[in-house]
Structure formats: structure tokens, C-alpha cells
Structure 1
Amino acid sequence: MRYRIGPESDNGAGDYDDSPSPTELAELMQWLENETARHKREEAAEPSLAEFAVEWDDITLERVAAFRGALNTASVEADMQAFLEANPNLLVQPLGGGHGRWVIPEKRLGSEHRADFMIGQKSTVGFEWVAVELEGPQRKMFNKNGEANQWLTHAIGQINDWRDWISRNRDYAARPRTDKGLGLVDIDGEVPGWIIMGRSSEASPETHDRRRRLARQHNIKIHSYDWLVERALARCAELTAWRRGEEMD
């Protein structure tokens, strides 16, 4: 950026200086200080999260088929919790790009709360987290009258409770595990949420608008388990196409 320091002539010409103003220099130095601190936090956090690291491309059609089978036989939420803990890469398929992905099951938030999963990915802006609440695959999102049922309402309340706790305890939550924190680096009380419950075949199209409205109001994605199946299948197709392209090259 160039800064004019001399009087402007009739044709707009004048003397220019490439030096930033004191205010701009102070802002730049503050930005550099913040970025340096963020990178240090990330470097300290990653080793302690190694046990939760997930390879996003470690997904196969056989694993998706096993997921479908588990959904068809599951009777309670705990069945899906156990399956997804054993197959965490199914949870990261809806994510976009990133420089690493982590899935932490049954994450304790103090003595009051437990998130079914905390999913993290790292991007150019740092760590980004998603708080996940599971409900049973046999539970419907809405009653016959189109209102959110007790399980969906409870799930929304759970995620909002977690956010309140994180807001009150952000320093502890965002501190690396090696520094006696929870290791959820960069997290804050506005963490996005996912609610996974029910099956798509049980969802009435008449409730879609209501679901989208709830999602916008609470910054929570509300999906059936089949959403995870669809995202995993899409990833399998992308990987197959990419590998075929590699072979042709």
C-alpha cells in the first residue's frame, strides 16, 4: 500500500510514501503476535490429540455397508455410539478441507456434561470443532403435529448447555492437554453442533422447513443417520474416481 505525503496536484499526482502509519503498524504487530500465539497453541495441542486422529480417506464401501447393517439392527443410542467410536472416520466425511481431523468420543466437559463426540479439523484459521449429540436411530425428530419431539428438544438443549459451559470455562477447554486443559484449542461458546437421530425414511417432507429453521436458530445441523451414510458413499465415489484418474495418468 502507498501513502501520499505531499500536496496533491491538479492531476492527482503527489509524493507517496510506502511506510504504514503508526496505527497500521501497531495493528500489524498485534496481528503477528496473535498469529504466533495461535501457532504455538496448535503445535502444543496436536501431539496430545494424536490418539484421536482420523484419516479421512480411510473409508470403504464395506465399512459403509457395515454401518447400514448396524443401523438396521440398533435398538438404542448406545449401539450407534459404540459403532461410531469403532469407526470414527464415518463422522468426518461431512467435513470439508483441512490439515488434520480428530474425533474425541464421550468428551467430558467438567463434571456436569458429556458430549457424545467432539470432532475437530484444522484449517488456515486454526482448529475448528463440532459438538455432536446422538439420539437413537429409531427416534423421530417430529411429532405427528409437526412439532419437535422431546428427544430433539432435549438434544438442542444439551448442545446449548455445552456451549454455556465452554463459555464459562473457555481457557480450560481451549488449553492443550499437555497443559492440563481439555485440548479443544481455539474452541469458543459458539461451537457449531450436529444432532444425528432417526432415519430419513421416517422424516416427513412437511417438517423439512421446520428442521431448517431450528438449525438456523441454534447453529446446529439436524440430520438422520442416513446423512452420514450418504456422505460416506459420496466420499467413496470421489476416492474411486481419483484413483482411476491416477491409474490412467
Structure 2
Amino acid sequence: MPERRVEKERHQRRRGQSHAVDQIEDWRQWLTTNLAYARAPRDSDGLGLPGITADARGLIIIGREDSADSASEIRDIQFRNSRIEVRTYDWHLRAAEDMHW
């Protein structure tokens, strides 16, 4: 039974990651056609994102780490192909701890 739970979690993570990648790609597509509006200052009814580009880097935080880190190769390929970094909640917590709030 635990194997089914693990496989179900992996499937949900992949589905969630695909959805997240789609959202980033949709945002980039929107930026391609609305870059001036995105860069315009807020006081000029823009979004106030002066340095944004249509190929802005993406970051997806999803799931927890496993001891094997079997997804590291997939994450590396994803980043090289589309500038989308896929990280875990554990990575995010370590990064926050390193900031020494």
C-alpha cells in the first residue's frame, strides 16, 4: 500500500509541475505582447516592473525532497531548456534560513 501512496504523490507532483510550467509560459507569452504595459510605472497605470523581460526566469516550488533526489536531472533539463527552476519546499526553507532573518 505505501508504494501506491508514493506513486500517487509523484503523479500529483508531476501534474502540479506541468500546470506551474504552463502558468509561467502563459505569463511569458502575455509579456511578449504587453511588455510596455508591464514596464510602465504604476503611477502611469502600468505594472511597475521596469526590468522585466519576456524570457524572465521562472521558479517553481513544489513538493518535498526525497533521499534519492531522483528528480534532479529532470530539474536541470527543465532549467536549461526553459529557464524555469524547480525546487522543493525544503530548498526554500534552507534558503530562508541562510538569510538570517
- Which residue, out of 43, 47, 52, partners 1:182? 47
- Which residue, out of 15, 19, 23, partners 1:158? 23
Change (3 A) 1:200 1:206: closer
Residue type of the alignment partner of 1:199: R
Is the aligned partner of 1:205 residue 2:69?
A: yes
Q: Report the equivalent of 1:227.
A: 91
Deviations 1:74-129 (A, max 9, x none): xxxxxxxxxxxxxxxxxxxxxxxxxxxxxxxxxxxxxxxxxxxxxxxxxxxxxxxx
Q: Report the equivalent of 1:80.
A: none
Give 3-state SS (helix, strand or coil) of 2:37's partner: helix
TM-score by length of 2: 0.80
What's the RMSD between the two structures over aligned residues?
A: 2.1
Give 3-state SS (helix, strand or coil) of 2:99's partner: helix
**Aligned equivalents of 1:232, 1:182: Cα separation in 2:** 27
Q: Which runs of 5+ in 1 are unaligned?
A: 1-138, 240-249
Deviations 1:165-207 (A, max 9, x none): 0110000010000111011112110111100111114x74222
**Aligned equivalents of 1:213, 1:226: Cα separation in 2:** 20
Of the structure 1 ranges 166-175 and 209-218, higher mean CA displacement relative to structure 2 is found in 209-218
Q: Which runs of 5+ in 2 are unaligned?
A: 1-7
| 1:11-90 superposed matches below 5 A | none
Q: Which has the higher strand share?
A: 1
CA drift of 1:226 comes to: 1.2
Count, aligned residues = 93
TM-score by length of 1: 0.35
**Aligned equivalents of 1:164, 1:224: Cα separation in 2:** 26
Give 3-state SS (helix, strand or coil) of 2:52's partner: coil
Larger relative contact order, structure 1 or 2 (CA cutoff 8 Å, min sep 6): 2
CA drift of 1:227 comes to: 1.1
